[in-house]
Homo-oligomer: A and B are copies of this chain.
Amino acid sequence: MDIAKLREAHPDHWMRAAAIRTLTLDAVAAANSGHSGMPMGMADVATVLFKNHLKFDASAPLWADRDRFILSAGHGSMLVYSLLYLTGYEEMPMEQIKNFRQTGAKTAGHPENFLLDGVETTTGPLGQGIANAVGFAMAEESLRARFGAKLQNHFTYCIAGDGCLMEGVSQEAIALAGRQKLGKLVVFWDNNNITIDGTVDLSDRTNQPMRFKSAGWHVQEIDGHDPEAIDAAIEAAKKSKKPSMIACKTHIAIGHAKQDTSKGHGALTDAAELKATKEAYGAPLGAFEVDAKVKGEWEAIGAQGRGARADWQARFDEQSERRQAEFNRVFAGDAPKKLSAVIKAFKKQISDEQPKMATRSSSQKVLEVVNPIMPETFGGSADLTGSNNTLTEGLGTFDETNRKGRYVYYGIREHGMAAAMNGLALHGGVRPYGGTFFCFTDYARGAMRLSALMRIPVTYVMTHDSIGLGEDGPTHQPVEHLAICRATPNTVTMRPCDTVETAEAWEIALTSQTSPSVLVLTRQGLPTLRTEHKNKNMVASGAYVLAEAEGKRQAIIVATGSEVSLAMEAREILQAEGIGTRVVSMPSMELFAEQDESYRRQVLPAGPVRVGVEAALRAGGWDRWLLGERGRESKQAFVGMTGFGSSAPAEELYEKYGITTANIVAQVKALL
């Protein structure tokens, strides 16, 4: 690489980009850990983007109409941190750069949105960022349609590496973006031909431009070190009505001895090589030093959006008070005030009418009263709309012909859907929910974990939640998925037993600010068990006494979802035989675990025998509630699954696996 020639051609640009490169080298060397090569390779693209295109104001990282900049290749985190430092984000003083990857620093190994406002999304697991970006771009289209271009009108830029493009989730994202004609989405492919194992062709020979074109994208190929070419390409991308991919031919770790090698991908810490690299750059500075002139130029870039933001603010201030409040409400993620009353009224009606229905249908009933009063809900399904019951009348299909539509046909793309929903939630202004079969949380898992880690209120509508799915068989019957969701930190898993609990679960999901929710819903019909109306949201306590023992309390049956009605039937039989039996409905183990001990003791007192019932594995958290919490090994049992299910009608499967009223009764008696 002829660095000298690059320097000469665009000296000011070069020095600005070099500041990113030297900060990266210094931070990685100090941490003795990290990834130097990618920020070095993409510094030119980022510099041109930030200087000439990105609409942002470093003093207002949360400005609602900023352009979004997403680093899908999250290992190159020093690119983001350098940019935030150079442009003058308050959260990013030099101290943070110096503490890259250290305890307590905001400069984590990979960018983490919950540590830094300047980071739009948490990346590192490859392919997620580009799939998030699709969600960001969808949110922008939706909000522009709702609030007008005066308030929402921005681009979403994303840098993706070879790793991102090899991950399957990227294909789901690319195809979805192409279908949706997301014209304000621009993806830069860092085409450096290097992965950890070697050159890309060791594992991949995809013609990426052709691949993107096949999905309906606008594609350009440029020299990623030529600022003029970069600028022109971004200009053209912005004009295209299709999503745009700019293939940027770059040199990983440019100018360094490890340039264009796998070693250049990782931590470049050799002091002599580092020094030589800085010299080649024409920036022979000490560690963490940035030329004052260059820093000044970058700070000016950080400030150049101030005018645009002031104009935006002026436009915002011209809006009616009501419109302003609504805009602020949806961006704050606050539920409308009347949600609570609507849910209560719905619950009361259900307790009166006592319908028998599958909780997936209950969920739709809830959405039918919620969606009209929460214009920020943004629903969808991974091609199971009729099965997930996620669509309500009047939502309208979101597509290129109707950006006011609030329902997305995500296609058979669970992972892409979940990652897009993450982007939608991160963008702000919309509240996404999406459905698939509960078993296919497997496919979405990579993104579901990130919903939790990123602390965003995405709602997963997971139907067909057990062997109750029946004939489709074990490939479609979740048994371990409750265990998976419950084991994931900061994820609220709720398995309601009837329509009333489903409404309460939705209320929790719709008012959540920092946790994703997983609604685990049945295919099969269930009776209404909450026949006595209560204003209080009982699901919020995680577990509660649904039916008290009559006479001496000898047994407690703890059940969730579709098995609560079995527990109630078992109670009838036991009570008839004089065995005082309490039924505890436990829709959410996580929420119950958060209650104080006195409440938990009230619900699960010492003494009575305990039987847990759930059409899933005991590994889904049951040991704590049966053996622990004042339980005793010799006085407990579990009725549920012990392995994979099988293909047969649902009722027969319940019999086959012994998840029956008779077995619950037998288990209780055996313990007494």
Contacts and interface: CB of A to CB of B under 8 A. Distances in A.
Interface of A: 31, 33-34, 74-75, 101-105, 108-110, 112, 122-127, 162-164, 166-172, 175-176, 178-179, 195-198, 201-208, 210-211, 213-216, 381, 383-387, 397, 409-416, 439-440, 442-443, 445-446, 449-450, 452-453, 470-476, 479-480, 483-484, 486-490, 617, 619-621, 623-624, 627-631, 633, 642-644, 646-649, 652-653, 656
Given A108-B473, A473-B110, A384 B168 contact: no
A171 B216 CA distance: 16
B453 A446 contact: no
A630 B630 CA distance: 14
Given A112-B473, A487-B483, A624-B627, A203 B410 contact: yes
Contacts of A442: 125, 445-446, 449
Contacts of A648: 101-105
A397 to B, nearest CB: 8
A123 B629 CA distance: 41
B124 A473 contact: yes
A372 B101 CA distance: 40
A122 B476 CA distance: 11
A128 to B, nearest CB: 9
A164 B440 CA distance: 14
Contacts of A179: 201, 203-206
A480 B450 CA distance: 13
A142 to B, nearest CB: 17
Closest 6 CB pairs of A and B: A168-B168, A203-B411, A623-B623, A171-B171, A124-B475, A108-B647
Given A203-B383, A204-B179, A623-B628, A617 B487 contact: yes
B412 A166 contact: yes
Given A168-B169, A206-B175, A475 B215 contact: no
A623 B633 CA distance: 11
Contact of A206 (B201, B214, B449, B644): B214
Contacts of A480: 449, 484, 487-489
B409 A74 contact: no
A381 B627 contact: no
Contact of A623 (B112, B196, B415, B627): B627
B215 A413 contact: no
Contacts of A446: 440, 442-443, 445
A198 B125 contact: no
Given A442-B446, A633-B628, A647 B487 contact: no
Contact of A210 (B170, B210, B623, B653): B210
8 contacts: A103-B649, A105-B648, A167-B168, A168-B172, A207-B213, A479-B489, A627-B628, A631-B633
Contact of A412 (B163, B630, B644): B163
Nearest to A488: B480
Contacts of A172: 166-168
A623 B620 contact: no
Given A172-B166, A205-B178, A644-B489, A411 B474 contact: no
A95 B488 CA distance: 45
A291 to B, nearest CB: 29
Given A167-B443, A175-B166, A409 B214 contact: no
Contacts of A207: 213-216
A510 to B, nearest CB: 24
A17 B58 CA distance: 66
A282 to B, nearest CB: 30
Contacts of A476: 109-110, 124-125
Contacts of A474: 108, 112, 453
Contact of A409 (B167, B202, B490, B649): B202
Given A109-B476, A489-B479, A644 B453 contact: yes
A544 B453 CA distance: 35
Contact of A483 (B112, B169, B210, B484): B484
Contacts of A633: 627-631
A100 to B, nearest CB: 9
B413 A198 contact: no
Contacts of A108: 473-474, 646-647
A102 B413 CA distance: 30
Nearest to A448: B442
A642 B590 CA distance: 13
Contacts of A617: 487, 489
Contacts of A644: 452-453, 489-490
A176 B489 CA distance: 34
Contacts of A643: 489-490
Contact of A214 (B126, B201, B214, B488): B214
A178 B630 CA distance: 59
